[in-house]
Amino acid sequence: MPEVQIPKFKKDTLNIVDFGAVPNTEALCTKAINDAIAKCSNSGGGVVVIPPGLWTTGPIKMKSNVNLHTKNGAFISFTNDVKQYKLIESYFEGNKVIRCESPIMGIGLENIAITGEGIFDGNGGAWRPVKIGKMTAGQWDELIKSGGVLSKNGKIWYPSEGAYMGNEEKNKLPKTATVENMEPYKQALRPVMVSLVNCKKILLDGVTFQNSPAWNVNPLMCEHVTLSNLTIRNAWYSQNGDGLDLESCRIGTVKNCRFDVGDDAICIKSGKDKEGRERGKPTELFVITDCVVYHAHGGFVIGSEMSGGVKNIFVKNLTFNGTDCGLRFKSVRGRGGAVENIWMEDVKMNNIPTDAINFNLYYFGKAIDEDPETGEMTVESMPITEETPSFKNMYFKNIYVNGARQALKIMGIPEMPVENLQFKNMIIRSEKGIQINYGSKIDFENIDLRLDKPGIAVSLSNSQNINVISFKSSGENQLFWIGGVSTKNIALKPNGKKMTFDDVKMLKSIKDEVKIIE
């Protein structure tokens, strides 16, 4: 990996109090903070200090060569007055769109930092819709009493009429959106909390980012990104409440960060569909280490917006505790893009409600029917085009899972199977075992699978060149199930006990493709 360039700053220090900021009131400090940042940058750079206290502000606009440093005890609360956030041409979920200004934003900057021990709170509850299924009955009643508008079916709460219209009655919105004609619906155009676009040499260190309107921290098309010692928090019910979204970025590190969020935690993205492919900027050359994820939909995630590609990512020493899904890879036909050269090791998971490791190439696509006994699915093959997503060349080593619904599930597509994966040194306790549909060149070595419920330990369907070496399991009532007319070249070598073809249930037509190695 190339060396990451760390921003450096002059020692010159400015304090926002000297620019008129008043703590512990509802008086907006927006002008004071931004004036201090602007003066610091115009004077050649340095440090802008936010001292201890409660500070209420509108959007903070970063400038080059400025370190915005927060002292312990500084709580920066972004106002819930939507009028303070102008509509601008921006980005969201991989595409150019009109959105509100982000609480913290920077475009085309170099040598910037946000550091210290302070807390930035995005007041996301004033922006986000809430689904009834994500709250207790008491919480839901309190939310309705606070105001807002319910959807027609009464299952989604919106903070305002504009937010309701922008989400529920899109057919009534202007056909060609502009900054002017979308003003009545701006509360539906929720911004990411920290938006850094086309910036170089970024440092975010030590602070807490929480309660974001949409995604939390989103570097986009940036280079030399250092994120360390961060705490990133969102309510578990927060809609689009991602933690970190690295999007079309090059060269960086993410180290010693903590996540407890309402959607995916550590997300690697690179644009969506045609726009992402035309941008052609992969996220690449990142080292991600020593992070902990609590609640999140996915702990470490690639996709689903990965149309510009993701490559050369090294991940080590992650811990997931109660995270919905551990390692999550997702896309769908139409995205295109290649995800390749991903190395992951020393990952620990505890109490995972769904899959420890999941590949889903049908995300947001038509539901695929699976045989309830075997998991086999039959999917029509399609021509390979620039819209065909590709996941290949990934290495997983030292994966330990103490409780999951399923150990590993791979749902590839027939025209472009998930290819060249290696799994080595894994101990997994789960209810269900390993299931692979449309995979190719996948090796398992030194696997210890412990099933909490009787079932199939390993299910392979329509896959080729699969080697299961030094494998042992317990708790299953069927060791291997192998099906799919396109299945070829399967090698099985259990560890610790003699295996016969009685332990392998398979289609008769592919029996010659399965070998048991003594």
Separation between Cα atoms, residue 164 and residue 282, nearest integer Å:
35
- Of the candidates 245, 260, 263, 264, the residue annotated as catalytic is 263
* CA 161/CA 164 separation, integer angstroms: 5
| Pairing relationship of beta strands 110-116 and 200-205 according to DSSP bridges | parallel
Q: How is residue 414 annotated by DSSP? A: T
CB atoms within 10 A of CB 138: 8
Convert 300-336 to b/e letters by CB count within 10 Å (16 or more is b).
bbbbbbbbbbbbbbbbbbbbbbbbbbbbbbbbbbebb
Picking from 375, 491, 355, 480, the residue whose alpha carbon sits closest to that of residue 437 is: 375
* 452 carries an active-site annotation: no
The residue from 264, 297, 324, 355 that is catalytic is 297
* SS3 state of residue 234: coil
Which segments of 372-487 are extended strands (E)?
390-411, 418-430, 432-437, 439-451, 456-461, 464-474, 478-483
Secondary structure, 3-state, 187-212: HHCCCCCEEEECCEEEEEECCEEECC
Q: Is 297 a catalytic residue?
A: yes
53 token code pair: 């206290």
Q: Which residue(s) pair with 505 in the sheet?
A: 481
How many helices (H) and strands (E) are present in the chain, helices listed first? Answer: 4, 39
Instruction: State how far the Cα of 62 lies from the Cα of 37, in Å rounded to an integer.
Output: 7
Give CA separation, 135 vs 131, 132, 150, 190, 248, in Å.
Answer: 7, 6, 15, 21, 34
Between CA 242 and CA 259 the distance in angstroms is 10
Catalytic residues: 263, 297
